[in-house]
Amino acid sequence: MVEKASVLYLGLCCINYFLISLLLFPKSLFPQVMMMSDIAKDPVAHSRKKRGSVSSLSSHEFQRREIHGRTKDSMSTVSYMDEPSQRDDVSRLTVQMENTYQLGPPKHFPVVTVNHILKDVLTNYLQEEEYEPELCRQMTKTITEVIKAQVKDLVIPRYKFIVIVHIGQLNTQSILIASRCLWDPKSDAFSSYVFRNASLFALANVYAVYLE
């Protein structure tokens, strides 16, 4: 009887200790039980939390490898999104240009305006110059580039320009300069101007060819 009473007394003491511990320290003694109850209450939140922890670990691991200079074998992390962003949809769009079916120039080559450009450029560069072979050779390149740049500033769409400048000595001689082109007279055109002073002459031609 005494042994049974002592065993019963020890059992009651263990039960009381267990109940007191459960009331005073519920989370420290039973973390697994509490974790399982949290998962049962909100499984969706637990799965998102788990993804976030994996992503954070991967990013820390990537930073550590980058510091040590071993980014070659590292893995990149990918964060999930509920819906694709609008920027991704825009980047996949391709712009398709339709045919204009335009057979003629919307703006014709302004012959009179280009003639004034030729006159101004030749007069400004050659009015006070005397003929010297080397100087005129360099002057021919310079005048050609200036004329081409000023004609392009007119912004005539779909036209290609060819600029040719001749400079020669003026010494009572006779000279004939001719050109021949294969083009459409309805859309293609040219401008020409001849400059003379006491020592030299200059001929500038601009050919405008329309591209369909």
| Predicted TM-score (pTM) of this structure | 0.53
d(CA 49, CA 108) in angstroms, rounded, equals: 69
Does the structure show a pLDDT above 70 at 39?
A: no
Residue 155 and residue 166 in contact, taking contact as beta carbons nearer than 8 Å = no
pLDDT at 36 (0 to 100): 47
Q: Distance between CA atoms of 39 and 19, rounded to whole angstroms?
A: 25
pLDDT at position 124, please? Answer: 96
Q: What percent of the chain has pLDDT over 70?
A: 56
pLDDT band at 146, cuts 50/70/90?
very high
Query: Tens digit of pLDDT for each residue in 178-211?
Result: 888 888 999 999 999 999 999 999 999 999 999 8
Q: What does the alpha-carbon distance between residue 41 and residue 19 come to, in Å, rounded to a whole number?
A: 25
Mean pLDDT of the region 27-33 = 48
pLDDT by residue (tens digit) across 70-129?
444 434 333 334 455 555 555 566 777 777 777 788 889 999 999 999 999 999 999 999
